[in-house]
Amino acid sequence: MTTETLETQNLTGASLIAGQSVPGAGRTVNGVNPATNEALEPGYTLIDEAQLAVATAAAAEAFDSFSQLDPETHARFLEKVAENIEAEAEPLTERVMAETGLPRARVQGERGRTVNQLRLFASVVRQGDFRGTRWNTADPERKPLPKPDVRQRLIPLGPVAVFGASNFPLAFSVAGGDTASALAAGCPVVFKAHNAHPGTSEIVGAAITAAVKEIGLHPGVFSLIYGPGASIGQALASDPAIKAVGFTGSRGAGVSLMQAAAAREVPIPVYAEMSSINPVFFFERLLEDTVAAGEDAVADLANAYLGSVTGSSGQLCTAPGLVFVPAGASGDVFLAAVGEAAKPAAGQTMLTKSIAASWNEGVEELASQSGVELVGRGTPGEGENAPAPVIYQASSAAFRNNPVLHEEIFGAASLVVRYDSSEDLISAAKRLEGQLTATLHLSEADHEQAAPLIPVLEGKVGRILANGWPTGVEVNHSMVHGGPFPATSDSRTTSVGTRAIERFLRPVAYQNLPESLLPQPVQAENPWKLNRRVNGSISLAE
């Protein structure tokens, strides 16, 4: 596939519905360069509910053939999507930078993550364990009743609606984790583009559409739509053809989708990643050892904290918005270093004007709370959408008693909470809402103090890490990117890593069905060469 076939230099401004370019019947929106607030061409026409119904109907029509695709063809499709995205690397990078203000290195890294996770899911499809095949063999001689032949597998749910995230225009967008895992599960996808980066979405949507055609799949396997966020989003979540929703965004929008999905005649699951402030816990001996090591060691730790807070202008779902530091001499030294590290930190352009405005409102509200004090502030960047990074502090008592101190500020801002004892720390941790991550900074001498905190955190977060920073989510077989509400709508799942595929599957059992009627994944001859559990024991494919 070439640049000419995708026409990335001549974007259409239209939705891609089941392989066709479809201008919307509604108003027009433009992407905006947040560094200059300049509108970008072309304008994108928004579809109405009648046009949406065409996309969802096509997805429903595509489901039967796509859900039964053989592993090799299925995996090759995912790989072809990755290849097509890579073929558009430079024009795609330029468009992302223009629509988001993100630096080139960040965009290139995110593009690599996007294609790599597509290839990772291709390997999952080929390997096949996600199908969950099980077989309890028959025993007609068993007394008092014969034992039946029962076989089980996981099957795709059906068409999935996926909503693009504002802060990850590639990795959590058109071909991002929700789309990749849904397609890997065998579910067609209707993707609602984020209106902040419509050109980026069209380039990637065209790459997927081309792959659908090149592999010879039903065109309804994928559609990309542009529409009014509230009305089309609600209609998409309420459409009878849609069987699950993947979403990354604000708590308000996520809860609204959850309510719409629950109110349907047949409710469906919504897998929404929403709000998290990702607490970081510093322990006494770790800080004492750092202070003893000298000013450079303290400065390094402070700079690492600032780097995690300010990376991508703090617009990462795992940014450390809350840090617990002991109230004592070592904590004082560390915070003094944080204040110094903050001074040269320049604001980075935020993704949109509205996100920058929300950040300012959140910071103003936090700063106005009783007992909240400034630790350090950086300098504004260029343009009105690049506010200065800021760090505040408050006591553990203030944190426990003031819900405003628990609220997420999406951007480069963080609150340090000073705690007095292990009991005080655990008491504060128990007040936390559900989070994506929790991080422990500790030495071996702190393990005894940290041990009682672990079970508390297990009930609060999806990922616990030590002596690092929560930003930077590895995409692999073991990763969990989820957590109790409001971090996500369902704490039993993950949106990153290969277990993300499980969100879009359900179990079906086949009891005493004739061999000729059984689907291939559970046939006795095992034509797809799947590992399976037979009578409770793992049976590896030959």
List the catalytic residues: 273, 317
Contact 124, 501 (CB under 8 A): yes
DSSP state of 460: T
> Could you give the CA distance from residue 324 to residue 334 in angstroms, rounded to a whole number?
12
> Could you give the CA distance from residue 272 to residue 414 in angstroms, rounded to a whole number?
24
Contact 166, 355 (CB under 8 A): yes
**Which residues, in sequence order, are CB contacts of 368 under 8 Å at separation 6+?**
none
> Could you give the CA distance from residue 151 to residue 142 in angstroms, rounded to a whole number?
18
Q: How many residues does the chain have?
A: 542
Alpha helices in 273-352 (DSSP H): 284-292, 295-310, 329-342
The three-point CA angle 527-529-532 to 5° equals 110
> Could you give the CA distance from residue 397 to residue 340 in angstroms, rounded to a whole number?
26
Q: Which residue matches tokens 């929700």?
A: 178
Tokens representing 477 are 């077989």
> Could you give the CA distance from residue 354 to residue 369 in angstroms, rounded to a whole number?
23
3-state secondary structure 168-187: CCCCCCCCCHHHHHHHHHCC
